[in-house]
Amino acid sequence: MIFKRLRKSTKEEERKFREDLAKENIGFKDTFAMLVSAFFVLVIPSILVLVGLLLLVLFMFGII
């Protein structure tokens, strides 16, 4: 169902996207804010899930 909604972009759409991206003035502060928010949204929850799985395995084998 998801794959039905996905479609390839045309060359013209890609060209327009690149032109629009070049027109935008993305400064250092904006880039830094995007990287920090990606860290909080992606990296920290992933680490917490891995630690939780590790603790579960350790508990199952009776190490803790």
Band (pLDDT 50/70/90 cuts) for residue 5 is confident
Least confident interval from 18-22, 34-38, 50-54, 59-63:
18-22
In a domain, 16, yes or no: no
Structure-model confidence comparison of residues 7 and 49, the more confident one: 49
What span, in angstroms and rounded, lies between the C-alpha atoms of 62 and 52?
Answer: 15
Using CA atoms, how far residue 22 sits from 33, 48, 53, 56, in Å, is 19, 37, 43, 48
In a domain, 37, yes or no: yes
At residue 54, the pLDDT reads: 96
Which residue segment(s) compose the domain that 43 sits in?
27-64
| Number of separate domains in the chain | 1
- Tell me the pTM: 0.57
Above 80 in pLDDT, residue 19?
yes
In a domain, 56, yes or no: yes
What SS3 state is found at 51?
helix
In a domain, 34, yes or no: yes
